[in-house]
Structure 1
Amino acid sequence: ANQLDRDRLAPLHYAARGGNVELIEGLIARGADINIKGLNDITPLHLASKHNRYAAVRALLMFNADIEAKDTNSNTAMHYAARGGNEKICEV
């Protein structure tokens, strides 16, 4: 569940980017690292925020995703949400 692919993303990154809450929950139940860092140190929470996946953001936060995690450019998930105009996510 924590293996990175050739794009340096784990299954949890893809589930978060796609907003698939059931898959997120299943992967975490199977031992996926909620704060796994992929390409440029992005986490699943970064991707869910960037792609405006509100339900995925909430699910990740319920499982204690690190809201302060920074990518290689020092961006947090809230930076991604704000840049994308995702106000609802910024309010979480």
Structure 2
Amino acid sequence: MILFQKIVNQKLNTLDTDGLLQLAKQNNLSISRPQAQEIVKIIRGKNINIFNDAERIDLLKRVAAITSPATAQKVNQLLQQFIG
């Protein structure tokens, strides 16, 4: 399980805008390109562990502050696909 978590976290922390848009599309979530760009700025290189509740909640709060609470909910839905 730890190896799986490391792989998912590494993928998340190196995600680019196009990758995020593709991931959202695969999971039937609509995120605009500008929203994806802002989210990637928050995530990229920050070494966030989405399996840690506190880190994930902090990430979602930052996403909500920069984009919108609705976008943060979409990101949370996307993250839940990996941790749920």
Task: Report the TM range for the smaller structure's normalisation.
Answer: under 0.3
Of the two structures, which has the highest relative contact order with CA contacts closer than 8 Å and spacing of 6 or more?
2
Which structure: greater helix fraction? 2
TM-score normalised over the length of structure 2: 0.27
Q: TM-score, normalised by structure 1?
A: 0.25
